[in-house]
């Protein structure tokens, strides 16, 4: 019997850092123009993880969701980047409150036992 593994070992992705995307990669992934993303950065909707100028900016792949939501708000509702920033902030707050309610409800269930 052979002691060699039959498959190559899988990479441990849990210790890897999230992917960093360039401005152009975010633009292509979200099907938006780069100037729209620049406006979102200026409004504080998203923030580059690295880089000081648009050509050197690097974004976490998690930012894609925010760009997509902002794009849908603009396309479907005519919301400008400042309005998208406000809407995303409110959505974040709702998500935080829901998490707090869930955690509180879990704690309450434990106390009633």
pLDDT surpasses 60 at 10: no
Helix locations, 1-113, DSSP H: 23-30, 34-43, 63-77, 81-112
Mean pLDDT calculated for residue range 38-42: 94
Distance CA 67, CA 26 (A): 8
Mean pLDDT calculated for residue range 42-62: 91
The pLDDT value recorded for residue 69 is 95
Helical (H) or strand (E) element with 20: strand 20-21
pLDDT surpasses 50 at 3: no
69, 88 Cβ separation under 8 angstroms: yes
pLDDT surpasses 60 at 78: yes
Total residue length of the chain = 113
80, 40 Cβ separation under 8 angstroms: no
pLDDT surpasses 60 at 112: no
């Amino acid at each position: 019997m052979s002691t060699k593994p039959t498959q190559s070992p899988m990479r441990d992705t849990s210790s890897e850092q999230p992917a960093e995307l360039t401005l152009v990669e975010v633009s292509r992934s979200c099907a938006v123009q780069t100037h729209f993303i620049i406006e979102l950065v200026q409004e504080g909707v998203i923030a580059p993880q690295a880089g000081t100028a648009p050509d050197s900016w690097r974004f976490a792949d998690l930012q894609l969701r925010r760009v997509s939501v902002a794009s849908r708000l603009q396309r479907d509702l005519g919301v400008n980047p400042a309005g998208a920033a406000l809407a995303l902030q409110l959505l974040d707050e709702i998500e935080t409150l829901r998490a707090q309610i869930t955690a509180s409800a879990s704690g309450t269930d434990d106390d009633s036992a």
